[in-house]
């Protein structure tokens, strides 16, 4: 827990002014501060200084902040992360002895870690109602003289996050600034890996000089993110996933006597792990807590021979479609883009207006289609994906579907194959374990084979005209992109096995039925 410090120091003399002491390279250069660039334009700007054992550098960092920046920011807050030296006492002393009403000093009672300290700081500025925050390190590794360069794009509304990049050549590049060759190579390799894995084109992922629009940052869940050094990578991943705008600005490289607390190999391993855990979560393979908000239990399956692959082909275009169990509208949105008119029905619909649905109806599917059956007219296609196995008695729903299906319409039903080889092997070894999704989803009340699914439809007034067998969803087991060559080859092999023994290898049974 952090405790704000309001020192009760009474002095007979006037407080001293903190002198501005930039590094020599900034004194007579074109980088001297301009009032226009430093202007806050009515925005509440905070400078967030993370400090750990920064006794010898903190006062220099504060002296390197330009007078124009001091004039335009509302607070400069030092967050001491339970330093083992006198960093906190030094900061309090500077606060007491100088005329800096904007300076605040807070100290964590125990060390929160690099990421943990950032989370505490961002929470502080968000709760205080600030618009912009700039992260500055207390060890002097990043240039305080350039603070306005960091926040100006945010003030102008050009970005949601601004990263200082040492890899841009404006200041001569990182090697000229003293970055060790092994760190330079490691930085470039990791950045190339992250750019490729995430579809970004940043020059550097690993700079700690950052500025954020706090209205954007408040939309990112920080609590379960790491407290370690790869917090910086996790936050880039989240910004990118949520489509926030990232801008880079050049900064110089400084390497001096500061102590580096980062284990390079451990850090690299953590970066690769963070990216892989994100992909596993975003592609619905497995939910990891730091990215859990991106996990969709029943996301669209985009690989070959999945239920959504077959459904898109069976529906085509220019059809009036009733999607039962529309959820968040992910698949229906794609049907709309293909030129179809879509009406969604769901017990808890979460379809955004941007999805383009003609209508969305809430209904308890245990009791049929509700208002959708009375007001929606007739449909060319009805989708009933992964619904029947959740109902105690599907007859009422099927009856309503028959009423709203057009004379030449087709109903496309998908149910899990209860005798898939994975279930058979499980039973063979004496187990029958439910899970959060899949064939043995804990919410399934009924289990079907191809024969029993067909019998259910025929009993309720339908004639089955076609059958498709989906393959086991490797994309939900391995976090590969749907267009991955390896995944495509594996899917074709599974397709062959499923064609030979559909009862054994089919994952879902898709039946096309008419009235």
Rounded Cα–Cα distance for residues 471 and 506 (Å): 5
Confidence band of 7 (pLDDT split at 50, 70, 90): very low
| 79, 3 contact by CB (below 8 A) | no
Q: Is 362 helix (H, G, I), strand (E, B) or coil?
A: strand
| 82, 3 contact by CB (below 8 A) | no
Per the structure block, which two tokens stand in for 366? 């245990």
- Who has greater pLDDT, 29 or 515? 515
The two beta strands, 2-4 and 103-108, are antiparallel
Confidence band of 15 (pLDDT split at 50, 70, 90): low
Query: In degrees rounded to 5, what are phi and psi of residue 202?
Result: -85, 150
Query: In degrees rounded to 5, what are phi and psi of residue 305?
Result: 65, 25
What pLDDT sits at residue 1? 46
Rounded Cα–Cα distance for residues 123 and 217 (Å): 10
Is the confidence at residue 42, as pLDDT, over 90? yes
Confidence band of 5 (pLDDT split at 50, 70, 90): very low
State CA 406 to chain mean position distance.
42
- Who has greater pLDDT, 173 or 137? 137
- 382-432 tens-digit pLDDT: 999 999 999 999 999 999 999 999 999 999 999 999 998 988 998 888 888
* Residue that is written with structure tokens 């590094």 in the block: 23
What pLDDT sits at residue 106? 95
What pLDDT sits at residue 130? 98
Residue 36 CB partners (closer than 8 Å, separation 6+): none
Beta-strand (E) ranges in 161-313?
Answer: 161-165, 210-213, 246-250
When computed from its CA atoms, the radius of gyration of the chain, rounded to whole angstroms, is 30
Is the confidence at residue 27, as pLDDT, over 70? no
DSSP letter string, 94-161:
HHHHB--TTEEEEEESS--HHHHHHHHHHHHHHHTT-SEEEEEETTS-S-GGGHHHHHHHHHTTS-SE
| 107, 80 contact by CB (below 8 A) | yes
- Who has greater pLDDT, 341 or 34? 341
Is the confidence at residue 12, as pLDDT, over 60? no
Per the structure block, which two tokens stand in for 134? 């700039």
∠ Cα 90 222 48 (to 5°): 25
What pLDDT sits at residue 145? 93
Residue/partner pairs of 494-502 with CB below 8 Å, 24 or more apart: 494/305, 495/304, 495/305, 495/471, 498/305, 498/469, 498/470, 498/471, 499/469, 502/450, 502/469
State CA 187 to chain mean position distance.
23
Residue 12 exposed, middle or buried by CB count within 10 Å (0-12, 13-18, 19+): exposed
Widest CA span in the chain: 96
DSSP letter string, 87-111:
HHHHHHHHHHHB--TTEEEEEESS-
| Identical topology for domains 30-293 and 307-514 | no
Helix axes 181-198, 264-282, angle to 10 degrees: 0
Per the structure block, which two tokens stand in for 139? 């060890």
What pLDDT sits at residue 486? 86
Is the confidence at residue 269, as pLDDT, over 50? yes
Q: What dotted CATH number matches 30-293? A: 3.90.550.10
What pLDDT sits at residue 37? 92
What pLDDT sits at residue 4? 45
* Residue that is written with structure tokens 């749907």 in the block: 482
- Between the CA of residue 104 and those of 78, 94, 143, 296, 339, what are the distances in Å? 6, 10, 20, 42, 58
- 190-248 tens-digit pLDDT: 999 999 999 999 999 999 999 999 999 999 999 999 999 999 999 999 999 999 999 99
CB atoms within 10 A of CB 288: 18
Tell me the average pLDDT of the chain. 89
Domain ranges of the chain: 30-293, 307-514
What pLDDT sits at residue 6? 40
Which pTM value belongs to this model?
0.77
- 159-191 tens-digit pLDDT: 999 999 999 988 878 888 788 898 899 999 999
Per the structure block, which two tokens stand in for 104? 């605040």
Q: What dotted CATH number matches 307-514? A: 3.40.50.150
243: left (phi over 0), alpha (psi -120 to 50) or beta: left
Rounded Cα–Cα distance for residues 109 and 83 (Å): 9
**59-83 mean pLDDT:** 95
DSSP letter string, 384-409:
EES-GGG-S-THHHHHHHHHHEEEEE
- Between the CA of residue 399 and those of 147, 324, 458, what are the distances in Å? 67, 14, 11
Nearest to 57 by CA among 272, 338, 254, 332: 254
| 120, 79 contact by CB (below 8 A) | yes
Percent of the chain at pLDDT exceeding 90 = 65
Q: Given 3-state DSSP classes, what are the helix, strand and coil percentages for the chain, each rounded to the nearest 5?
A: 40, 20, 40
Is the confidence at residue 8, as pLDDT, over 50? no
- 87-119 tens-digit pLDDT: 999 999 999 898 889 999 999 999 999 999 999
């Amino acid at each position: 827990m952090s405790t704000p410090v309001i020192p009760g120091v009474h002095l007979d003399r006037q407080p001293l002014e903190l002198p501005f002491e930039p590094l020599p390279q900034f004194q007579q250069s074109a980088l001297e501060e301009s009032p226009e660039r430093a202007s806050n334009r009515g925005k509440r700007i905070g400078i967030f200084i993370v400090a750990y054992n920064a006794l010898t550098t903190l006062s220099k960092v504060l002296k390197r902040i330009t007078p124009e920046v001091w004039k335009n920011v509302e607070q400069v807050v030092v967050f001491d992360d339970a330093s083992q030296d006198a960093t906190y006492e030094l900061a309090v002393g500077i606060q007491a002895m100088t005329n800096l009403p904007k300076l605040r000093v807070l100290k964590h009672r125990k060390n929160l870690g690099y990421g943990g300290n950032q989370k505490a700081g961002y929470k502080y500025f968000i709760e205080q109602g600030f618009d912009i925050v700039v992260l500055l390190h207390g060890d002097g590794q990043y240039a305080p003289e350039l603070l306005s360069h960091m926040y100006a794009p945010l003030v102008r509304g050009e970005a949601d996050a601004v990263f200082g990049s040492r890899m841009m050549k404006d200041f001569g590049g990182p090697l000229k600034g003293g970055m060790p060759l092994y760190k330079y190579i490691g930085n470039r390799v990791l950045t190339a890996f992250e750019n490729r894995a995430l579809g970004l084109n940043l020059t550097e992922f690993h700079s700690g000089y950052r500025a954020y629009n706090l209205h954007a940052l408040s939309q990112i869940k920080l609590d379960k993110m790491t407290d370690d050094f790869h917090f910086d990578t996790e936050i880039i991943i989240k910004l990118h996933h949520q489509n926030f705008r990232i801008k880079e600005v050049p900064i110089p490289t400084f390497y001096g006597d500061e102590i580096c607390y980062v284990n390079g190999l451990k850090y690299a391993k953590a970066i690769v792990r963070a990216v892989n855990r994100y992909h596993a979560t975003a592609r619905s393979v497995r939910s990891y807590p730091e990215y859990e908000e991106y996990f969709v239990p029943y996301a669209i399956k985009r690989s070959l021979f999945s239920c959504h692959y077959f459904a898109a082909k069976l529906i085509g275009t220019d059809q009036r479609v009733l999607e039962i169990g529309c959820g968040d509208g992910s698949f229906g949105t794609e049907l709309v883009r293909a030129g179809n008119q879509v009406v969604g029905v769901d017990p808890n619909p979460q379809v955004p207006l941007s999805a383009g649905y003609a209508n969305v109806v809430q209904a308890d599917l245990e009791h049929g289609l509700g208002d959708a059956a009375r007001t929606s007219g007739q449909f060319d296609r009805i989708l009933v994906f992964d619904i029947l196995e959740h109902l105690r008695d599907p007859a009422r729903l099927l009856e309503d579907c028959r009423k709203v299906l057009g004379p030449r319409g087709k109903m496309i039903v998908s149910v899990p194959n209860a005798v898939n080889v994975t279930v058979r092997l499980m039973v063979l070894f004496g187990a029958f374990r439910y899970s959060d999704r899949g064939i043995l989803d804990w919410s399934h009340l009924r289990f079907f084979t191809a024969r029993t699914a067909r019998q259910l439809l025929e009993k309720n007034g339908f004639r089955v005209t076609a059958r498709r067998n989906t393959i086991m969803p490797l994309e939900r087991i391995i976090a590969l992109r749907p267009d991955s060559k390896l995944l495509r080859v594996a899917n074709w092999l599974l397709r062959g096995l499923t064609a030979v023994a559909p009862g054994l290898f089919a994952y879902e049974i898709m039946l096309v039925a008419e009235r």
